[in-house]
């Protein structure tokens, strides 16, 4: 069960979360504003009504997680989103990250391999507010060739390697943010596609994501 009431208490908790993210080093005001706007408790079971504003990952359906707010903010900041940019997200999950990007003005194309999560998002009333998000059921390793090229690509699961097809679907000058590595810890990378179609690679902090898996799950 979920509740879709956004009270003053929720708004207050959200403001505190934003202050915490700022203290942790998030500086992109547009990211902070998006997090301040979006009721994160709408994306979780009502049992997490207040916990939703702790800086923690929580379980959603089928053994997956909603990313920690700090992680969402960190990845969004690295992407340097501009209004109207086309962004491909791999791993819709709860769709919270997709809403942050949409709130920042991006056109979001998001892929989920778990049928149950895809179906749940299609039915969620709070996502109707975001016509800028297009939901796809599929394998993120393939990307969305029909809608390419993208200005930005965001991977929100632990990638065992850099998916070549996703680099192909990125514009020259475009950026991909990807947590790379198997096991319990991944290194956050930002790749920028160059004129010669190779990528410039920057390394950031370590994070812990659920794995990016091949193929769709019924
Ligand atoms: N962005 C999400 C984070 C969800 S966790 C959020 O804001 O809540 C990562 C998600 O990636 C999981 O839902 C998982 O099922 C999905 N995933 C893993 N491998 C995938 C793949 N190959 N293609 C698409 N989605 C994938």
Domain residue ranges in the chain: 8-207
Statement: residue 2 has pLDDT above 90: no
Mean pLDDT of all residues in 116-140: 96
d(CA 14, ligand 1 centre) in Å: 24
d(CA 3, ligand 1 centre) in Å: 23
Statement: residue 57 has pLDDT above 90: yes
Statement: residue 50 has pLDDT above 90: no
pLDDT tens for 181-208 read: 999 999 999 999 999 999 999 999 999 9
Instruction: Report how far residue 7's alpha carbon sits from residue 9's, in angstroms, rounded to the nearest whole number.
Output: 5
Q: For 8-207, which CATH superfamily applies? A: Vaccinia Virus protein VP39 (3.40.50.150)
Statement: residue 5 has pLDDT above 90: yes
| Strand ordering across the sheet containing 107-112 | 133-137, 107-112, 86-90, 150-155, 170-180, 186-193, 199-207
What is the pLDDT, as a whole number, of residue 104? 98
pLDDT tens for 22-43 read: 999 999 999 999 999 999 999 9
Name the burial class of residue 167, with classes exposed (0-12), middle (13-18) and buried (19+) by CB atoms within 10 angstroms of its CB.
middle
pLDDT tens for 79-113 read: 999 999 999 999 999 999 999 999 999 999 999 99
Instruction: Report how far residue 217's alpha carbon sits from residue 120's, in angstroms, rounded to the nearest whole number.
Output: 14
- Token readout for 111 is 């892929």
Instruction: Report how far residue 100's alpha carbon sits from residue 152's, in angstroms, rounded to the nearest whole number.
Output: 14
Instruction: Report how far residue 143's alpha carbon sits from residue 167's, in angstroms, rounded to the nearest whole number.
Output: 10
Residue closest by Cα to atom 16 of ligand 1: 91
d(CA 90, ligand 1 centre) in Å: 6
Residue closest by Cα to atom 2 of ligand 1: 93
d(CA 196, ligand 1 centre) in Å: 30
For residue 186 and ligand 1, the question of a CB distance below 6 A is answered with no
Percentage, residues of the chain above pLDDT 90: 97
Q: How far is CA 130 from CA 72, 102, 124, 180, in A?
A: 18, 7, 11, 29
For residue 114 and ligand 1, the question of a CB distance below 6 A is answered with yes
For residue 116 and ligand 1, the question of a CB distance below 6 A is answered with no
Statement: residue 145 has pLDDT above 90: yes
Instruction: Report how far residue 191's alpha carbon sits from residue 126's, in angstroms, rounded to the nearest whole number.
Output: 32
Q: Which residues are catalytic?
A: 67
Mutation to probe ligand 1, out of 48, 69, 113 (largest number of atoms < 8 A from CB)? 113
Statement: residue 3 has pLDDT above 90: no
For residue 154 and ligand 1, the question of a CB distance below 6 A is answered with no
């Amino acid at each position: 069960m979920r509740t879709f009431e956004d009270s003053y208490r929720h708004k207050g908790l959200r403001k505190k979360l934003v202050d915490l993210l700022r203290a942790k080093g998030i500086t992109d005001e547009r990211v902070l504003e998006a997090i301040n706007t979006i009721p994160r408790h709408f994306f979780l079971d009502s049992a997490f009504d207040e916990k939703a504003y702790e800086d923690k990952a929580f379980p959603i359906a089928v053994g997956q997680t909603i990313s920690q707010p700090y992680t969402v903010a960190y990845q969004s900041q690295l992407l340097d989103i501009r209004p109207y940019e086309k962004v491909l997200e791999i791993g819709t999950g709860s769709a919270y990250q997709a809403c942050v990007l949409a709130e920042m003005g991006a056109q979001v194309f998001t892929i989920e391999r778990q049928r149950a999560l895809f179906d749940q998002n299609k039915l969620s009333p709070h996502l109707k507010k975001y016509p800028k998000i297009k939901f796809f059921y599929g394998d993120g390793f393939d990307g969305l060739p029909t809608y390419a090229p993208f200005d930005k690509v965001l991977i929100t699961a632990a990638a065992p390697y850099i998916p070549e097809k996703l680099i192909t679907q990125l514009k020259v000058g475009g950026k991909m943010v990807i947590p790379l590595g198997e096991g319990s810890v991944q290194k956050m990378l930002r790749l920028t596609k160059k004129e010669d179609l190779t990528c410039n690679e920057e390394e950031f902090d370590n994070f812990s994501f659920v794995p990016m898996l091949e193929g769709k799950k019924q």
